[in-house]
Structure 1
Amino acid sequence: MYPDMTSKSKALYDRALTSLPGGNTRTTVFMKPYPIYAARGAGCRVWDVDGNELIDCINNFTSLIHGHAHPVLVEAATRQLALGSAFGTPTESEIDLAELLAARLPSVDQVRFANSGTEAVMMALKAARAFTGRPKIAKCEGAYHGSYDYAEVSLDPNPADWGSNAPVSVAYAKGTPDKVLADVVTIPFNDIDGAVSLIREHGRDLACVLVDPMPNRAGLVPADKAYLEALRQATREVGALLIFDEVISFRLGHHGAQGLWGIDPDLTTLGKIIGGGFPVGAIAGKREVMAVFDPRHGKPALPHGGTFSANPVTMRAGLAAMELLDQNAFARLDAIGEEVQRASTRHSAAMVCRAPRSVLGRS
Structure 2
Amino acid sequence: MTASDTEGHNSVGRLSREAFDRARRVFIDGTTRVTIERDPIPRYMERGEGAYLVDVDGRRFLDLNGNFTTLIHGHRFEPVVEAVTRQLQSGTCFANPTLAEIDLAELVCDRVPGVETIRFVNTGSEAVMFAIKAARAFTGRSAIAKIEGAYHGAYDWVEVSQASTPDNWGPGHEPAAVPYYRGMPASVLGEVVTLRFNDAELAEALIGTHADRLAAIVLDPMPSRAGLIAPTPDFIAAIQSAARRHGVLIIADEVLSFRQGYEGASARHGLKPDLFTFGKIIGGGMPIGAIAGRREVMSVFDANGKKPALPQGGTFSANPLSMVAGFASMLALDHGAFKHLEMLGDRLRGQLLAAIARHGAPFTVSGVASLFRIHPKPALPRDFREATMSAAETAVMNELSRAYATAGVILPSGAAACLSTPMTTADIDLVASVFDEFLATRADLIESLAA
Normalising by structure 1, we get a TM-score of 0.95
Paired amino acid for 2:22: R
Q: How does 1:171-320 map to 2 (within 5 A)?
A: 171-320=179-328
User: Match of 2:334?
Assistant: 326
Alignment coverage as a number of residue pairs: 360
- Give 1:78's match in structure 2, choosing from 66, 80, 85: 85
Where structure 1 has 5 or more consecutive residues not aligned to the other structure, the ranges are none
Q: Which moved more, 1:83-92 or 1:25-34?
A: 25-34
User: Using the alignment, how far apart are the partners of 1:260 and 1:2 within structure 2?
Assistant: 38
The structure-2 alpha-carbon separation of the partners of 1:49 and 1:230, relative to structure 1 and needing over 3 Å to count, comes to: same
Distance of aligned partners of 1:322 and 1:3 in 2 relative to their CA distance in 1, 3 Å threshold: closer
Identity of aligned residues (%): 48
Alignment of 1:1-363 (within 5 A): 1=8, 7-160=14-167, 161-352=169-360
Structure 2 unaligned regions, length at least 5? 1-7, 362-438
Give the TM-score normalised by structure 2: 0.77
Q: Aligned with 2:250: secondary structure?
A: strand
Q: 1:96 to 1:345 in 2, by over 3 A?
A: same
Residues 44 and 345 from structure 1, CA distance in 2 versus in 1: closer, same or farther, beyond 3 angstroms? same
Q: Secondary structure at the match of 1:47?
A: strand
Tell me, yes or no, if the aligned pair for 1:24 and 1:30 is still in contact at 8 Å: no
**1:124 partner letter:** A
Q: CA deviation at 1:4?
A: 5.3
- The 2-side partners of 1:172 and 1:230 are apart by 27
Amino acid at match of 1:61: F
What's 2:415 paired with? none
Contact 1:109–1:285 (CA<8 Å) still a contact in 2?
Answer: yes
CA distance in 1, matches of 2:55, 2:223: 30
| Residue aligned with 1:23, SS | coil
Q: CA deviation at 1:225?
A: 2.1
Amino acid aligned to 1:203 = A
> Equivalents in 1 of 2:35, 2:144: separation in Å?
26
Q: Aligned AA for 1:132?
A: T
What is the distance in 2 between the residues matched to 1:228 and 1:204?
A: 21
Tell whether the 8 Å contact from 1:4 to 1:10 is kept in structure 2 after alignment.
Answer: no
Change (3 A) 1:237 1:347: same
2-structure distance, mates of 1:295, 1:163: 45
> What's the RMSD between the two structures over aligned residues?
1.9
Q: 1:281 to 1:5 in 2, by over 3 A?
A: closer
Distance across 1 between alignment mates of 2:13 and 2:85: 37
Shift of 1:30: 4.0
Deviation of 1:6 after TM superposition, in Å, equals 6.6
Change (3 A) 1:355 1:314: closer
C-alpha contact (below 8 Å) 1:246/1:268 kept by paired residues: yes
Q: Could you tell me how far 1:306 is from its partner in structure 2?
A: 0.6
Instruction: Give how far 1:232 is off.
Output: 1.0
SS at match of 2:35: helix
- Partners of 2:26 and 2:42 in 1: how far apart? 16
Q: What is the CA–CA distance in structure 1 between the aligned matches of 2:246 and 2:282, rounded to whole Å?
A: 33
Amino acid corresponding to residue 229 of structure 1 in structure 2 = A
Instruction: Give 1:2 shift.
Output: 5.9
| CA deviation after TM superposition for structure 1 residue 162, in Å | 3.5
C-alpha distance in 2 between matches for 1:13 and 1:253: 38
User: What is the CA–CA distance in structure 2 between the aligned matches of 1:221 and 1:263, rounded to whole Å?
Assistant: 15
Deviations 1:15-43 (A, max 9, x none): 11111110100100041421000000011
Change in Cα spacing, 1:171 to 1:94, as seen in structure 2 (3 Å) is: same
Q: 1:297 Cα shift?
A: 3.4
- 1:42-99 per-position Cα deviation (integer Å, ceiling 9, x unaligned): 1110000111111111110000000000111100111111111100001011111111
Given that 1:293 and 1:300 are in contact with CA atoms closer than 8 Å, whether structure 2 keeps it comes out as yes
Give the distance between the partners of 1:13 and 1:104, measured in 2 at CA: 43
Going from structure 1 to structure 2, the CA distance change for 1:131 and 1:332 (only over 3 Å counts) comes to same
Deviations 1:224-278, CA, capped at 9 Å, x for gaps: 1221121111111111100100001110001101111222100000000000000
Q: Output the CA distance in 2 between the equivalents of 1:32 and 1:258.
A: 36
